[in-house]
Amino acid sequence: MTVSGGEAVLFWVVAPLMVLAAAGLLFARRAVHAAVCVVFVMIGLAVLYVAQEAPFLGIVQIVVYTGAVMMLFLFVLMLVGVDAADSLTETIKGQRWVGILLGVGLASVLCGVISQATFPPPQGLAAANEVTNPVALARIVMQHYVVAMEAVGILLVTAALAGLVLTHRRRLGRKPTQRALAEAKVAALPSGRTLTPLPAPGVYAQNNAMDTPALDPQGRPLEHSVPRVLRIRGQERSATELLTAEETLVPRLTAPVDDPETAPEEER
């Protein structure tokens, strides 16, 4: 087998790029970047197939792997979201060692099978690229397995439509109008919902904190003005403490000022 100068140049240009893309697959932090690296490796492999005078394998490599498998992978990424963060914490203890043992076992089995395999004598590129091979493959697929091919096609179309429905599930119904939203809020009043936003925490002369409830027009503390997290933790100021602070503050502010030195700092 002789290799021409053009084939050698093409190999030494494409092969290092494929190795870099494979390394990018291993070290990529985002799934989209890893998918793009895999696509680059598959396209480079198809180019090498065509350079080795195997155009059918190159076309199948692009159509099946690059055009179908990787597009399906990217389709799943679009459904899940590219910003989904992966947790690096082991949820199952010891799963890393189990994975290593299974990988070593699988590698041992593959090595044993490959060492015992026997290969037929090479037929040459002329026999491999004969017209009868693609034609025979087409006849087998479209004559003997036509029902299975149609079923797979229907399944893929159904999966694509289901993905579109899941992606745009919020647009299935009519967009609610302002009147419909207002009527829904009024209908939820008996269940404890409010029409207006909840009041903000109180701001007083002695306190300006998130744990201080606001007061209604009657002077009663509003529990819902304090964040729910503080109420669950028990970090909310009690109404008795708040009213006691107000009762001690009001006489000081309303008392007559005789000596400016003893007057509250706010009145000077």
Model pLDDT for residues 97-156, shown as the tens digit of each residue:
888 999 999 999 999 888 888 777 777 767 666 666 777 778 888 888 888 888 988 998
Residue 134 in domain: no
More confident residue, 225 or 251: 225
pLDDT tens for each residue of 148-199: 888 988 998 888 788 777 766 665 567 778 888 888 888 887 877 776 666 6
Residue 110 lies in a domain: no
Given 64, 82, 100, the domain boundary residue is 82
CB atoms near residue 43 (< 10 Å): 19
The domain spanning residue 53 has which CATH number?
1.20.120.1200
User: Looking at residue 84, what is its pLDDT?
Assistant: 52
Higher pLDDT residue, 250 or 233?
A: 233
Total domains in the chain come to: 2
76: pLDDT strictly greater than 90: no
Residue 230: inside a domain, yes or no? Answer: yes
Smallest CA-to-CA distance from 34 within 25, 21, 43 is with 25
Supply the pLDDT for residue 252: 57
Mean local confidence (pLDDT), 229-244: 70
Residue 247 pLDDT level (bands cut at 50, 70, 90): low
In a domain, 265, yes or no: no
Highest-confidence range of 9-13, 159-163, 260-264, by mean pLDDT? 9-13
Max mean pLDDT among 7-21, 66-80, 197-211 falls in 7-21
- Which band of pLDDT confidence, cut at 50, 70 and 90, is reported for residue 32? confident
Check residue 54 and give its pLDDT.
Answer: 81
Task: Kindly report the pTM of this predicted structure.
Answer: 0.46
- The answer to whether position 183 is within a domain reads no
> Domain end: 82, 108, 134, which one?
82
Of the residues 82, 112, 143, which one is the last residue of a structural domain? 82
225 pLDDT exceeds 70?
A: yes
Q: State which residues form the domain around 233.
A: 196-254
**Is it the case that residue 75 has pLDDT exceeding 60?**
yes
- 212 close to 238: Cβ distance less than 8 angstroms: no
Decide: 185 and 193 in contact? Cβ < 8 Å. yes
In a domain, 179, yes or no: no
